[in-house]
Structure 1
């Protein structure tokens, strides 16, 4: 069986932790930042773990 290729788009968006979970950034911080409050922008800058239901297809995209 050939080696699986890494999906480069997923590799740029997700980071694998030591426990096997995946970290991601929050959405809505790309543009239109003038009308968002400072606390909302600070909260959007934080990373969070991907939910267990969504992590299964990510594991297939990032095999290594």
Structure 2
């Protein structure tokens, strides 16, 4: 079985936790921040987890993470 290539874009965006979940960053934090409240911007700094529907697709892209 040959080695699998890691998707370089996915490796920059996702990390795997010790329990097997996949962490991702929040969206809507790049621009147009003046119209968002401080509370919303603070909540967007927290990490989120990949949903169950996308878990298999993302884990295929980062096989050795």
TM-score w.r.t. the length of structure 1 is: 0.94
* Aligned residues: CA RMSD: 0.8
TM superposition shift of 1:55: 0.8
Partner residue, 1:38 = 38
Partner residue, 2:47 = 47
Q: Aligned pair count? A: 64
TM superposition shift of 1:12: 0.5
Matched, 1:3 2:3: yes
Distance in 1 (alpha carbons) for counterparts of 2:35 and 2:51: 29
TM-score w.r.t. the length of structure 2 is: 0.92
Unpaired segments of 5 or more residues in structure 1? none
Secondary structure, counterpart of 1:23 in structure 2: strand
Unpaired segments of 5 or more residues in structure 2? none
